[in-house]
Chains A and B, each alone.
Chain A
Amino acid sequence: MTRFVDLTLNGISTGAIYAAVALALVIIWRSTRIVNFAQGGMLMITTFIASALISSGASYWLAFVVALLSGFVLGGLVERLLMRRVEGKPPLNAVIVTFGLLILLEAVAGMIWGNTPRSFPPAFSIRGYSVGGTRLLFAPNDTFIVLVVLGSAALLALLFRRTTLGLRMRASAFAPEVARLLGVRVGGMLTLGWALASLMGSLAGVLVAPSVFVGPNQFDPILVFGFTAAVMGGLDSPAGAVVGGLLLGLALSYVGGYEGSALVTLAALVILLLVLMVRPQGLFSTPRERRV
């Protein structure tokens, strides 16, 4: 029984991280109809930057903030300089470009920092809470993870739904041509969307780094999990991304707990395929008919 509780709590914590990556992918998909496979590489780089700062003596929180800010900047730069040229072209081109960027980022990280994974400190204690004599597999750090991810998601939701900036961003995502006719600087809104998404991704990166270690390829599974969670919730739905992330976290926690961690990524594949076969638009999306 405690095992089950432990796995559940662990699942919520890892699920929050998948939710953050999923949210990043969803925001970008909604605004530019591109699945940003390079997200895994982008958050890896910003986590490396944080790691380098910590190694040279900076405080954790400074590194944390720098990671988020550099994520924001990186996202904006990638959209403006690179993705702008493939928006509106056939999706195949964008997919290939994002993969190109992924390899490039991983290679550059290897060049700068080497390929050996290195450790990364957690924000808070990872010693599980003690409840009635037993130590749970859920620690203050996990509470932090869940709170900060849910909190950021809530802030983003507020931004999108309650501010005029958010209104412009939504209009740019739903109907870019009409938005331009209403004087909205659609290009800038798309860049901002990427920047915010990438900030979410960087958040996930620093939160997950203590468990996966920081290395050029260490975050590949996180990309897979984030994508799976986003698809589960529906690529169009930010709420779906959060729910999908939590559900996936739970599911994979159980698989990892009872079957061993090696199969976890393949389990995600199975879940992904099941979702795509049974309800391809995801749990939360309204299906859009394709216009003939």
Chain B
Amino acid sequence: MSATLLQVEGLVTEYGPVRAVDGVDLSVSEGAVTAVLGANGAGKTTLLRTISGLVRPRSGTVELEGRSLKGLAVERIVRLGVAHVPEGRGVITELTTEENLALGGLWRGRGAMPVEEVYELFPPLRERRRQPAGSLSGGERQMLSIGRALVARPRVLLLDEPSLGLAPLVSREIMELVRRMAAERSVAVLLVEQNARSALAVADRGVVLNLGRIVAEGDASDLIADEDLRRAYLGF
């Protein structure tokens, strides 16, 4: 049984009067991929933003390897080993590919993954290393943002809709990569996706959110098998 790296309990996040996250419990283990599914507006992105500290929760706890992240600044949380690839990928378009990657590892210093390794993982990036990141295609940007997150050798990786806007083939490659990474590098991955089918294909466990609450959870295979659930919340 691998260790629980990320533990979320009773998390509540509000935007004014709206409870975007309404009492969520979940945990992610080392080397496992947990998919967070649900329709638009279900609270998935807010959940990730609360974990990484961009948004302050109303109540509830988030613990990283037993250590509470309550009240910590985003930079601090990141330096504890949490990487968050935001919705829209967050590629800094004014910087080059290489600069984006370098940026990811700065706080790690010597312990960071060498940029060469990222190029091994994502060969297309090597060709584009000196070009401004704004000139990259959607798929390349996704590779860049994931690569940039990996450079810091995170313990926990939060991925927000990595397949958004990507062709199905590219999206599948990315998903495969995510699964390999989790296993090979012992990273706990929390994967938010609207495309439930592709997410469940690579995930170990799944959590379904609706209006900020968890309406279903379980092993990925069980969720796939549950036809009613799929039809009601997952769209396939």
Asked whether any CB of A lies within 8 Å of a CB of B in the complex, the reply is yes
**Which A residues are within 8 Å of any B CB, using their own CB?**
164, 167-168, 170-171, 174-175, 177-186
Least distance between A271 CB and chain B CB atoms (Å): 29
When the two chains form the complex, which single residue of A164, A168, A174, A181 contacts B78, counting CB atoms closer than 8 Å? Answer: A181
Smallest Cβ-Cβ distance to A161: which chain B residue? B99
User: Please, could you name 19 A-B residue pairs with CB atoms under 8 Å apart, sorted by A?
Assistant: A167-B95, A171-B95, A174-B93, A174-B95, A175-B90, A177-B54, A177-B90, A179-B92, A179-B103, A180-B73, A181-B86, A182-B78, A182-B103, A182-B148, A183-B75, A183-B78, A183-B106, A183-B108, A184-B106
- How extensive is the interface on chain B, given as a class? 20 to 34
Given the interface pairs A181-B86, A185-B75, the reply to whether A175 lies near B92 with Cβ below 8 Å is: yes
Q: Are B103 and A171 within 8 A (Cβ)?
A: yes
Whether the pair B95, A181 counts as a contact (CB closer than 8 A) is: no
Cβ–Cβ < 8 Å partners of A171 in chain B: 92, 95, 103
Would A181 and B90 count as touching, CB distance under 8 A? yes
| Interface-centre pick from A171, A174, A177, A181 (highest chain B CB count, 10 A) | A181
Neighbouring A residues of B83 by C-beta, 8 Å:
181
Contact in complex: B106, A174 (CB < 8 Å): no
A180→B86 contact, CB < 8 A: no
Residues of chain B contacted by A178 (CB below 8 angstroms):
86, 90, 92
Assembled-state Cα–Cα distance A183/B83 (Å): 9
Closest to B90 in A: A178
Contact between chains at B74 and A180 (CB < 8 Å): yes
Q: How far is the CB of A221 from chain B (nearest CB, A)?
A: 33
Are A186 and B75 within 8 A (Cβ)?
yes
Tell me the bound Cα distance from A182 to B100 in angstroms.
10
B-side contacts of A179, CB under 8 Å:
92, 103
| Partner-A contacts on B (CB < 8 A) | 52, 54, 73-75, 78-79, 83-84, 86, 90, 92-95, 99, 102-104, 106-108, 148, 152
The 3 closest A-B pairs by CB, nearest first: A183-B107, A178-B90, A180-B74
Q: Is the CB of A183 within 8 A of B152?
A: yes
CB pair A168 B90 closer than 8 Å:
no
In the assembled complex, the Cα of A180 lies from the Cα of B90 at a distance in Å of 11
Given A170, A177, A180, A184, which contacts B95 in the complex, CB threshold below 8 Å? Answer: A170
A182 adjacent to B86 (CB under 8 Å): no
**A164 and B102 contact, CB distance less than 8 A:** yes
Q: In the complex, A170 Cα to B102 Cα: how many Å?
A: 13
CB contacts (< 8 Å) of A175 on chain B: these are 90, 92
Identify A174's interface contact among B73, B74, B94, B104, CB under 8 A: B94
* Cα distance A184–B152 in the bound complex, in angstroms: 12
B90 and A164 form a contact (CB under 8 A): no
Q: Could you say which residues of chain B place their CB within 8 Å of the CB of A168? A: 103, 106
B92 touches A164 (CB 8 A): no
Cβ contact within 8 Å between A181 and B74: yes
Minimal Cβ-Cβ distance residue in A for B85? A181
Provide the bound-state CA to CA distance between A171 and B96, in Å: 11
Chain A: CB-nearest residue to B80: A183
Known: A167-B102, A182-B106. 7 other contacts (CB 8 A): A174-B95, A175-B90, A180-B73, A180-B75, A180-B78, A181-B90, A183-B78
User: Which residues on A sit within 8 Å (CB–CB) of B107?
Assistant: 182-184
Interchain nearest-CB distance for B92 vs A (Å): 5
Chain B residue nearest to A188 in the complex (CB): B75
CB distance from A144 to the nearest CB of B (A): 34
In the assembled complex, the CB of B110 is this many whole angstroms from the nearest CB of chain A, namely 13
Given A170-B94, A175-B90, verify A183-B79 contact (CB < 8 Å).
yes
Given contacts A180-B78, A181-B52, contact A167 B106 (CB under 8 A): yes
Q: Are A174 and B75 touching (Cβ within 8 A)? A: no
B103 touching A174 by the CB < 8 A rule? no
What is the chain A residue whose CB lies nearest that of B78? A183
Q: Which of B74, B90, B102 has the most CB of A within 10 A?
A: B74
> CB-CB < 8 A to A180: which residues of B?
54, 73-75, 78
Report Cα–Cα, A198/B52, bound state, in Å. 33
Complex alpha-carbon distance, A183 and B153, angstroms: 12
Cross-chain contact B92 with A174 (CB below 8 angstroms): yes
Please indicate the chain A residues that have their CB under 8 angstroms from the CB of B152 in the complex: 182-183
CB nearest to A186 among chain B residues: B75
User: What distance in Å separates the Cβ of A46 from its nearest Cβ neighbour in chain B?
Assistant: 31
CB of A267 to closest CB in B, whole Å: 34
Task: Decide yes or no: A167 and B103 within 8 Å by CB, A174-B95, A183-B152 being known contacts.
Answer: yes
- On chain B, the residues within 8 Å of A177 by CB distance are 54, 86, 90
Task: Across the interface, name the chain B residue whose C-beta is closest to A236.
Answer: B94
Residues of B with C-beta under 8 A to A186: 75
